Amino acid sequence: MDVWFLLTVVSASLFLAVGKRRSEMTLLTGAGIEAKQLRSTLVHYTPELLGAYTSMFANTTWLTYALFSFLHPPFTAEGKVLKLFSLLPRTLLVDKWLMATVPVVIFGVMRYMQLIYEKNEG
C-alpha cells in the first residue's frame, strides 16, 4: 500500500467528516436549535474554524492524490490472469495514465465544497 494513497484516504475522510459537521451546525443554527442540545461537541467549533478545516483538508485531499498518481509504484503483471495485460499495447501500460484522473478528483472536491457552502448538504 502506497503512503500517498493512505494519506489521500485519511485526508478525504477528514474532509468529508468536517463537511458533515459544518453542514450539521449550519442546519441547526438555521432551524433555531442550539447545537449543544443535539450534539455537545458542536459547541467547541466555530463556523470559521470549520471553514478553515474544510479548506485545509480539501487541499490535502487533492494534493496527496496528485502525489499518489505521479509517484505510485509501477504495475507489474504477475500471475496467469495478469499476464494478459502484457498483450495490451505498451501505451496503455504506461504508469502515467493515472495522472489524467487528477482533474476528476479536483472537480469532486470542488463539487462537495459547493454542496457544503451553497446548499448546506454536507
Residue 94 grid cell: 504506461
pLDDT tens digits, 58-70: 999 999 999 998 8
How far apart, in whole angstroms, are the C-alpha atoms of residue 38 and residue 98?
43
In a domain, 75, yes or no: yes
In a domain, 28, yes or no: yes
Domain residue limits at 10 = 3-117
Compute the average pLDDT of residues 7-28.
90
**Tally of structural domains, the chain:** 1
pLDDT tens digits, 21-45: 888 888 877 777 776 677 777 778 8
In a domain, 38, yes or no: yes
Burial class (CB in 10 A: 0-12, 13-18, 19+), 7: middle
How far apart, in whole angstroms, are the C-alpha atoms of residue 121 and residue 115?
5
In a domain, 111, yes or no: yes
With cell 454536507, the residue in question is 122
In a domain, 122, yes or no: no
In a domain, 73, yes or no: yes
* The model's pTM: 0.77
In a domain, 17, yes or no: yes
What is the predicted pLDDT for the residue at 84?
A: 65
